[in-house]
Amino acid sequence: MMDHIFSPLALGSHTLANRLVMAPLSRSRATPEGVPSPMMVRHYGDRATAGLIISESAPISQQGVGYPNTPGLFTDAQTAGWLRVLNAVHSAGGHMFAQLQHCGRISHPSHQEGGILPVSASAVKPEGVAVTAQGYLPFETPRPLEMGEMADVVAQYHQAALKAKAAGFDGVEVHGANGYLIDQFLRDGTNQRQDGYGGTIENRLRLLQEVLDAVTQVYPADRVGLKLSPENSFNDMSDSDPQVHFETIVTAIADRGLAYLHVTEASMNVFGHIKDAPKSVDYVKLRRLFPGRYIANNGYTQARAEAAIRAGHADMVAFGEAFLANPDLVHRFRAGLTLNTVDRTTFYQGGEMGYNDYPFATAATAGLEAAI
């Protein structure tokens, strides 16, 4: 029987019910201290019919925070909050990985202890504005990480993985995409270093390799995923030759036995997929270079997802807005039902509106009403 989006899939030691992945979606619904809130317990529990949920980006340290009200993985209170989320997801039969994030230069002194500058690969200021508790403020020029600080950054990922494990996450995804710290090292538009972490692509991917080493000391490799975005311009990112550079990167991590490679194909913006965004990277070739599971992401419809899986391009397909607006997306896809319309004006506004008030198709398909 040919694989399709509703067929089960082995992912390391886990068996997923289907190939639909709930993509990471930062929605600023945590507390100001970065603790997952009761509304997040319900939100993720309601969507546990996804084959796999990947959490919204979880900052691995205060240094890694780039936005207000994002749920972290660096304090005991945050870990306890995530444990309540995982209990809801597991009670509903779901699987969930934590996305480990360090925002790097996409931060602001107001997020940093002592109001110091954010860090990055190099002192390259991003265009645009930072999101802060005081509103939008201009980005600052980041401070380049010193060689002696790299081990501490790697240790932050290790500690965050330990907290993810304590919270009950089934695995973790290392966020190496979308203009955040690891991506800032990978791409030469932001990495202008001339030391062991810059210059050649082999040096530029050194931080990623060290982070993967640290995280796989906590979780076995088949419970660790990696997200990349070879040509995404989001967060003012660029690379001189993404095809060659990311072929090198994927080849370099191909023998690690990772759970999956999750790729943002083409570019996106703060609202997600850009319709008809041009592609300069051969994603079919990148996929062939990686022997493990591949998650395709960015603008997929049900029909495109089916085609990608049947063609062998993807093992799973991630959906963002569709899962946000349709807690019962798997049921709606299977039954051919109309989808709810997403309200983008509510994405980062906080509260239940545009987060937990999207209706299920019928009462019978309603997910877990998590005990809070």
Alpha helix (H) residue ranges in the chain:
38-46, 76-91, 150-167, 181-186, 201-204, 206-215, 242-253, 283-289, 302-310, 321-325, 329-335
- The two tokens of residue 12 are 């390391």
Separation CA 184–CA 187 (nearest Å): 6
Side-chain half-sphere CA neighbours of 193 within 13 A: 25
Pairing of strands 135-138, 129-132: antiparallel
Measured N-to-C along each axis, helices 206-215 and 150-167 cross at an angle, to the nearest 10 degrees, of 30
Pick the catalytic residue: 157, 180, 219, 358? 180
Pairing of strands 293-297, 260-264: parallel
Q: How distant is the alpha carbon of residue 71 from its chain centre?
A: 13
- The two tokens of residue 296 are 């395709």
Q: Cβ distance 5 to 17 under 8 Å?
A: no
Separation CA 57–CA 65 (nearest Å): 10
Separation CA 273–CA 283 (nearest Å): 16
DSSP-derived 3-state class of residue 1: coil
Q: Clarify whether 157 is annotated catalytic.
A: no
Q: Cβ distance 268 to 23 under 8 Å?
A: no
Separation CA 206–CA 195 (nearest Å): 11
Residue 217 backbone phi and psi in degrees, to 5: -80, -20
User: What is the set of active-site residues?
Assistant: 180
